[in-house]
Amino acid sequence: MKTIAVLTSGGDSPGMNAAIRAVVRVGIRSGLKVVGIERGYCGLIDGTFKEMTFASVAGITEKGGTILRTSRCGEFYTPEGRAKAAEQLKKAKIDGLVVIGGEGSLTGAKILHEEYGIPIVGIPGTIDNDIAETDMCVGVDTCLNTVVDAIQKLKDTATSHERAFIVEVMGRESGYIALMAAIATGAEAAVIPEIPIDYDKLAARLLEERKRGKINCIIVVAEGAGGAINVAKNLQDKIGYETRISILGHIQRGGSPSAFDRLLATRMGAEAVKALLDGEKCVMIGLKMGKMVRVSLEKVIGRKKELDLSLYDLALILS
């Protein structure tokens, strides 16, 4: 193996730059040429490649987003698009590819390997923390800290005005961010896709707490559980508070990565290069019990990571 490439795909997550830096520097130190592919799979199809150097990745660990930029590429879903991508890799004499992204990105990587035999190593980068076979994904910790900080600020206003705030966070199919943020901030409820919500029961509990003298209320809602507007419609005028909606949106993806995400991404990036050098063909780097592991993408794709629902019970006990 002489040349490897790295790309970031799908939604950005804090820490992607640290992973890129590790791939580039460990790769160069290992005697490899490292190529950066801009704009994810779109750049792979278009051949938007550039050779990376130590200087290319200087000072990027603390930056949010991705210096290689990213995209969601419909063309790559087609056989014709993947054929173009494979041809570009062949033309550039790239022997292995590191893909940093979520389930859709890793699925594309797996298919590319199956169709063209290109050695692939994936790094799970998504704020949803919904990738199987890894305890944490790159970007989750930073996102959670951003959400917790925002909720604490909203809680100040909620207390001052004796209001309820319904806070919508990201998570189309996973309630991880909503649930963890609810526990961390002492929210009164978490509404998540994994568990159907009984609005009458929730409203009765919140109203009873209001009658006992509670002066604020925070409800954290995952976007995939119906969203904040839907929750507000079901609770409005039933819980004894004037309610407000706050949708945090894409602010959750930005910002300087936490120390945890920088370290996780760096370790995963370094392990990805080692995996390619060891002859791995189609694996993802994961974190299991504090250690880096290599898991076949066959075991990852199509499997939803299960949320620990005992934490939901804990959230109810603590609320």
Is residue 128 part of an annotated ligand binding site?
Answer: yes
Is residue 244 part of an annotated ligand binding site?
Answer: yes
Is residue 155 part of an annotated ligand binding site?
Answer: yes
Is residue 21 part of an annotated ligand binding site?
Answer: yes
- d(CA 242, CA 240) in angstroms, rounded, equals 7
Pairing, β 291-296 against β 282-288: antiparallel
* Sheet strands side by side (includes 163-169): 189-191, 217-222, 163-169, 242-247
The CA–CA distances, whole Å, from 156 to 25, 111, 151, 162, 312 equal 44, 49, 9, 10, 24
Is residue 250 part of an annotated ligand binding site?
Answer: yes
Is residue 103 part of an annotated ligand binding site?
Answer: yes
Is residue 42 part of an annotated ligand binding site?
Answer: no
Q: What share of the chain is helix, strand, coil (3-state, %, to 5)?
A: 45, 20, 35
Is residue 188 part of an annotated ligand binding site?
Answer: yes
CB-count exposure of residue 278 (10 Å: 0-12, 13-18, 19+): exposed
Is 46 catalytic? The answer is: no
Task: For Cα atoms 286, 176, 231, give the angle at the middle one, nearest 5 degrees.
Answer: 160
Query: HSE of 279 in the Cβ direction (CA atoms, 13 Å)?
Result: 0
Is residue 303 part of an annotated ligand binding site?
Answer: no
Stated as kind and residue range, the H or E segment containing 199 is: helix 199-211
Is residue 23 part of an annotated ligand binding site?
Answer: yes
Is residue 278 part of an annotated ligand binding site?
Answer: no
Annotated catalytic residue, options 12, 46, 95, 128: 128
Is residue 214 part of an annotated ligand binding site?
Answer: yes
The CA–CA distances, whole Å, from 195 to 22, 175, 217, 240 equal 38, 9, 20, 25
Binding residues for ATP: 11, 72-73, 102-105
Please give the annotated binding residues for substrate, written as ranges: 126-128, 163, 170-172, 223, 244, 250-253
**Which residues are annotated binding-site positions?**
11, 21-25, 72-73, 102-105, 126-128, 155, 163, 170-172, 186-188, 212, 214-216, 223, 244, 250-253
Binding site residues for ADP, as ranges?
21-25, 155, 186-188, 212, 214-216
Looking at the annotation, which residues are catalytic? 128
Q: Tell me the binding residues for Mg(2+).
A: 103
